[in-house]
């Protein structure tokens, strides 16, 4: 008896320390986000599009590495034929200087001998309106999920899950801001996947907490012990699923090449912090807000019982 109590206490201490760590990381992320901002890709910012032809056919990869030497910013080169290319680059003031560098380099190089056909500013793929709409939809999704969880579980567990979710998103964004990795449409898609993943983890822990709280004989145990037990019994599952998902994401990172690099980095981080937050936040926060077996005793009347027993 004493043994389990001690174990429980140790687990609780670990959880609270993890939560403290999370809080510090969130603060750091918010700090870099406000200081450095995100490095939005061309999908969001728009930029300059330059079309040029070369006097003889040039391999795309060779040209790519040649221009990379003469270009400081980020750019995207596509081939439209053996000797016809398009280059997209960011619009900021400093890169206009760069763009002249690479343009003079390709036009003066004897092997490439390029001729610039046109250079024009193009708008973003994502309009402002759509970006706002996207943020609104994300917000709606969160509210919808929170409502669902509040009905299915208990509002404290629902709040825990959603706070964990926001925590995951902020940390991933913070990492992207800190390392200034390009934030494009695919990274946005991965953020959306993280929402799904993070909720999944939190729900499975929350589900077990609910189950243990409802068992009458557990009334004597403190909520902290019950939460610890719930985490312990779902830990193997959490680790295995995170492990296999991480393995698949890692294989995308390794093999799928540059277009999905940002996507893989975002998901990888998201899964790691998601697993962490499902234990340290989603399960711990309800305890702080006063979750106890009593919440369920009162609630389980005939009507709620049928709701809870839904398959």
Partner 1 sequence: MLSFKKDKKPSTAKFKLSYIAMLIVLFLLAISALPNLYPNKSWLHISAAPHSETQSLPSTKTLVTFLNSQGLEVEQGVDKQSTINVLLNEPTKSAQAQAAIKAQYPNTQVKIVEHATSPTWLQDFGLSPIKLGLDLNGGVLFVLDVDLDKAVDEQLVSAYQQAKSIIIKQKAHGVKAQQTQHGFEINALPNATDKLTPVIEELQSRFANLAVVTSNNGSVKTAKFSYSEQGRSAFDKEVMGQTLTTLRSRIEELGITEAVTQQQGKHRIRIELPGVQDPTEAKRIIGATASLGFYQLKEIGGQTFNMQSGGTIKLDPVPIFTGDHINNANIGRDDWGKPLVQLSLDGQGGDAMSAFSKANIGKPMATVYSEYSQNAKGEVVKKSEVINVANIAQHLSSRFSITNMKSQQAAADLALLLRAGSLTAPVTIVHEQTIGPSLGSENISNGLAALMLGMGITLAFMALWYRRLGLIANVALILNLTSLVGLMSLLPGVVLTLPGIAGLVLTIGMAVDTNVIIFERIKEERRQGRAPYQAIQEGYKQAANTIFDANITTMITALILYGIGYGPVKGFAITLALGLLTSVFTGVYVSKILSQTLYLKMGKKAGVKAHA
Q: Which chain residues interact with partner 1 by CB under 8 A?
A: 46, 49, 60, 78-81, 86, 88, 122-125, 127, 129-130, 133-134, 137-138, 140-141, 144-145, 148-149, 152, 185-186, 188-190, 192-193, 195-197, 199-200, 203-204, 207-208, 233-234, 236-237, 240-241, 243-252, 254-257, 259-260, 263-264, 267, 310-311
Q: How far is the CB of 24 from partner 1 (least distance, A)?
A: 28
Q: How far is the CB of 74 from partner 1 (least distance, A)?
A: 15
Question: Which residue's CB is nearer to partner 1, number 230 or number 293?
Answer: 230
Q: How far is the CB of 129 from partner 1 (least distance, A)?
A: 5
Question: Which residue's CB is nearer to partner 1, number 38 or number 178?
Answer: 38
Q: How far is the CB of 20 from partner 1 (least distance, A)?
A: 27
Q: How far is the CB of 299 from partner 1 (least distance, A)?
A: 16
Question: Which residue's CB is nearer to partner 1, number 28 or number 261?
Answer: 261
Question: Which residue's CB is nearer to partner 1, number 17 or number 122?
Answer: 122
SS3 for the chain is CHHHHHHHHHHHHHHHHHHHHHHHHHHHHHHHHHHCCCEECHHHHCEEEEEEECCCCCCHHHHHHHHHHCCCCCEEEEEEECCEEEEEECCCHHHHHHHHHHHHHHHHCCCCCCEEEEEEEECCCCCHHHHHHHHHHHHHHHHHHHHHHHHHCCHHHHHHHHHHHHHHHHHHHHHHHHHCCEECHHHHHHHHHHHHHHHHHHHHHHHHHHHHHHCHHHHHCCHHHHHHHHHHHHHHHHHHHHHHHHHHHHHHHHHCCHHHHHHHHHHHHHHHHHHHHHHHCCCCHHHHCCCCHHHHHHHCCHHHHHHHCCC
Question: Which residue's CB is nearer to partner 1, number 32 or number 277?
Answer: 277
Question: Which residue's CB is nearer to partner 1, number 25 or number 195?
Answer: 195
Q: How far is the CB of 114 from partner 1 (least distance, A)?
A: 17
């Amino acid at each position: 008896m004493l043994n389990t109590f001690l174990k429980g206490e140790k687990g609780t201490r670990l959880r609270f320390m993890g939560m403290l760590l999370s809080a510090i990381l969130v603060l750091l992320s918010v700090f870099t986000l406000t200081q450095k901002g995100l490095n939005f890709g061309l999908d969001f910012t728009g930029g300059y599009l330059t079309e040029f032809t070369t006097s003889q056919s040039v391999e795309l990869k060779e040209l790519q590495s040649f221009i990379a030497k003469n270009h400081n910013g980020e750019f995207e080169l596509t081939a439209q034929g053996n000797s016809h290319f398009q280059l997209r680059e960011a619009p900021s003031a400093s890169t206009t200087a760069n763009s002249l560098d690479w343009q003079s380099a390709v036009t003066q190089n004897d092997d490439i001998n390029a001729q610039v056909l046109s250079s024009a500013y193009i708008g973003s793929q994502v309009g402002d309106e759509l970006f706002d709409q996207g943020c609104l939809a994300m917000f709606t999704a969160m509210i919808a999920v929170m409502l669902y969880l509040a009905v299915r579980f208990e509002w404290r567990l629902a709040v825990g899950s959603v706070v964990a979710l926001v925590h995951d998103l902020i940390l991933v964004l913070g990492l992207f801001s800190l390392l200034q990795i390009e934030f494009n449409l695919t990274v946005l898609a991965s953020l959306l996947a993280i929402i799904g993943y993070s909720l999944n983890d939190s729900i499975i822990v929350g589900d077990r907490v609910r189950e243990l709280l409802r068992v009458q004989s557990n009334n004597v145990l403190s909520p902290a012990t019950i939460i610890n037990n719930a985490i312990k019994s779902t830990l193997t599952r959490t680790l295995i699923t995170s492990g296999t998902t991480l393995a698949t994401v890692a294989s995308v990172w390794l093999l799928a090449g540059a277009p999905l690099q940002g996507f893989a980095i975002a998901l990888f981080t998201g899964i790691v912090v998601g697993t962490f937050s499902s234990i340290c936040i989603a399960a711990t926060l309800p305890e702080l807000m006063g979750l106890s077996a009593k919440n369920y005793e009162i609630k389980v009347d005939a009507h709620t019982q049928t709701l809870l027993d839904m398959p």
